[in-house]
């Protein structure tokens, strides 16, 4: 029987990644920073055992200015002639 699992990893810039245990890296592939938080998920017998939902970054809410900009761009795209 072999071990199957993956790492959940989070860097200081908020980049999240899941890596197979056998492809483990020590830094973020997006920005090169070292991981600040890692968690081992065991998929050997019970898939997802130890999975930490709190490590997944939540999207930041849009500010009023940004949400209006998105609305305006969407409106222009839909009403372009």
Please say if the pLDDT value at position 81 is more than 70.
Answer: no
How many helices, marked H, and strands, marked E, lie in the chain? 1, 3
Residue from 63, 1, 21, 27 nearest 10 by CA: 27
Sheet holding 5-10, edge to edge: 16-20, 5-10, 37-42
pLDDT tens-digit series, residues 3-18: 899 999 999 999 999 9
Residues forming beta bridges with residue 40, ordered by sequence position: 7
The CA distance from 69 to 65, in Å, is 6
Q: Residues 43-60: what's their mean pLDDT?
A: 88
């Amino acid at each position: 029987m072999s071990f199957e699992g993956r790492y959940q990893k989070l860097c200081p810039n908020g980049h999240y990644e899941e890596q197979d245990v056998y492809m483990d890296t020590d830094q973020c592939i997006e920005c090169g920073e070292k991981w600040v938080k890692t968690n081992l998920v065991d998929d050997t017998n019970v898939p997802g055992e130890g999975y930490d939902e709190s490590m997944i970054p939540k999207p930041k809410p849009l500010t009023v200015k940004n949400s209006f900009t998105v609305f305006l761009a969407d409106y222009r795209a839909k009403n372009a002639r």
